[in-house]
Chain A
C-alpha cells in the first residue's frame, strides 16, 4: 500500500497509457458487437498485425535512436499510417472471409464465434510462421530482416528516447506518455464525431439500433458492417502504435492477452457502448496498475479479472450498460 501511495502518479500515468491502448482496442470489439452482435474474437490479431506494421515501417525507413526531430516525427507518422493501414486491411479481409459468407447463409451466432476463434489462430500462426510464409513465395531472402526469428520477440528501435517533460508528484511524465495519452484522446474525439455526425457513422448507429428500420431508410447493411470493421481496425492500428512506443516489443502472440483485456474493458463499460469502451479501458488500465502496486505486479491480470467479475455482479450490463443502439453516441 505504501508503494502505491509513494508512487501514485507513476502508476496513474502508466495506467492511463496502457488504459488508452485497451480503450482503443475495446472500441473495435464494441463497434462490431453493436452492428453484428458478434464477438470478433480475432480482433486481437488485428491489433497484433498493427504492431508489426508499425515495426516494419520503422525498419524499412531505417529508423534508429538519435534521429533529428523532423526524422522522429516522420517515423512516428509513418508508424500510424502503416499500422492503421495494416490493421484496417486485416479487419476488412477478416470480415469478408470469416464472417460475411456465414452471414449470407444465416449461420447461427455460435458458428460465427467458432469462425472468429479459428481466424484468430490462423492469423496469429501466419505471423508466427512468417519466415516460412515468405519462403513459399520465395521472398525469405529479400525479407530476411523482417521475418527471421518469427516466433521470438521483435523489438522496435528506440526512435524516441523517453524524455521527462514535466513532473507530477515526483513522477516525470515523459514525451512518450504524452504522445500516447494526448494522441489516444484525439483519436477518440475523431471517432466520436465520425459516429455522431458523418453519414456512415449514423448508418452504423442506425444498424446497431434497428437493422430493419435502417434498411428501410436505405442504409446498406453490408457496407456499414464493412466500414465498422475498417474503423475498428484503424483504431486497433493506432493502439498498436501507442503500444509499440510504450512497450517497444511485439510477437506473433502479442495480441492474445491484450485482446482479452480490451474485450474485458468493452464488457466492463457495457458492450456495444462506445463511451463505455473508453471508460472501461481507462478503468482497467488504472485498476491493474494500482492493484499490482498493492499486491505485486505478478497479480496484475488477476486483479483485472476479479475487478471485471465484481463490477458485472453489481452491474450485469456493464458500467454504462446500454447498447450502441441506445447510447446517444
Chain B
C-alpha cells in the first residue's frame, strides 16, 4: 500500500471535520474521494499533506508512519499536492512557480529536472508559451494547469489533486481528466477529489464517498458509477 489512512479524526477547534475515516491508495491507482460540499474532502487532503494536525488515527506512507511528520518534509518523501483553489504564487512567474515545485528535490540541480520540465510542458503546452508571465495574470484555467504542473515538478510518488477541474469550461475539464489519466499511466499514483463525480468515477480505479466527515461507501469506479443511490445523490442522474 502506498498510502494507508487509519481511523483519522481531524478537528477545526471543536468542529469535527472528519471522523474516523480509513482508506487506502495502492501504487499505480487513481483513487477518488467524492462527497457534497463540506463533506471533509479538502480536510482529508490537507491532512495527508500535513497542513492539518491529526487528532486521532494514523497515516502511513510507503511503509512509514507520517502522522506527525511536518508538512514541509512530506514532499521529500514523495507527496505533492495541488491545493483547492490552485494556490499559485501569484507574484512569481510561471517558470518560477514550476521551479518552486522542485524546492524539496534532492536532485533539483541535475538534468532530471529539465526532463521533468519538458514533460510538464508537453502535458501543458500553454505553460510553456506563458513561462515568463506572472502567475497572477493567468486565467483561472491556466492557473489550474500551473498548480498541477508545479505539483508534478516535485516528481511525487503520490499526487494529491483537490478539485483540478473547478471553475473550468467543459472542454477544459475533459482535457484535465485526460491529463490526470496520462500522468497516472506514466506511473504516478493519484488521489483525486472531484465535484465532477461522473467523470472522476469513470477515470478512477477506486473511489470513496464521504458524507459529513465519514466514509459511507467504497468501491471500484465502475461499481459506484452504476449504483442507483450514488447516481441519484452525486451524478445528477445523467451518466
Chain A residues proximal to chain B, CB less than 8 Å: 199, 202-203, 205-206, 209-210, 212-221, 322-323, 325-329
Contact = CB atoms under 8 A, between A and B. Distances in A.
Contact of B91 (A213, A219, A221, A329): A329
Contact of A199 (B49, B74, B103, B134): B103
A218 B99 contact: no
B103 A326 contact: no
B100 A217 contact: yes
Interface in B165-206: none
Interface residue tally of chain B, by bracket?
Answer: 20 to 34
Contact of B72 (A220, A327, A329): A220
15 contacts: A202-B96, A210-B87, A212-B51, A212-B87, A213-B87, A214-B89, A215-B50, A215-B71, A215-B72, A216-B51, A217-B154, A218-B72, A218-B154, A221-B72, A322-B91
B138 interface: no
Contacts of B103: 199, 202-203, 206, 217-219
B127 interface: no
Contacts of A327: 91
Contacts of B90: 209, 325-326
A94 B50 CA distance: 28
A213 B88 contact: yes
A212 B73 contact: no
Interface of B: 49-51, 70-76, 80-81, 83, 87-93, 96, 99-101, 103-104, 134, 136, 150-151, 154
A199 B106 CA distance: 13
A327 B92 CA distance: 8
Nearest to A327: B91
Contacts of A329: 91
Contacts of A210: 87, 89
Contacts of B50: 215
B72 A213 contact: no
Contacts of A213: 83, 87-89
A323 B91 CA distance: 9
A206 B87 contact: no
Nearest to A213: B87
A206 B100 contact: yes
B83 A216 contact: yes
Q: Which of A205, A215, A219, A323 has the most CB of B within 10 A?
A: A215
Contact of B100 (A202, A212, A323, A325): A202
Contacts of A199: 103
Contact of A218 (B51, B73, B87, B92): B73
Nearest to B150: A217
A322 B75 CA distance: 30
A322 B73 CA distance: 30
A219 B89 contact: no
Contact of A325 (B71, B87, B91): B91
Contacts of B150: 217
Contact of A216 (B49, B76, B96): B49
Given A209-B89, A325-B91, A218 B75 contact: yes
Nearest to B81: A216
Contacts of A214: 89, 100
Contacts of B72: 215, 218-221
Contacts of A220: 70, 72
Q: Which of A212, A213, A221 has the most CB of B within 10 A?
A: A213
Q: Which of B49, B51, B71 has the most CB of A within 10 A?
A: B71
B71 A209 contact: no
A206 B100 CA distance: 8
A212 B154 CA distance: 16
A145 to B, nearest CB: 47
Contacts of A323: 91
A206 B88 CA distance: 9
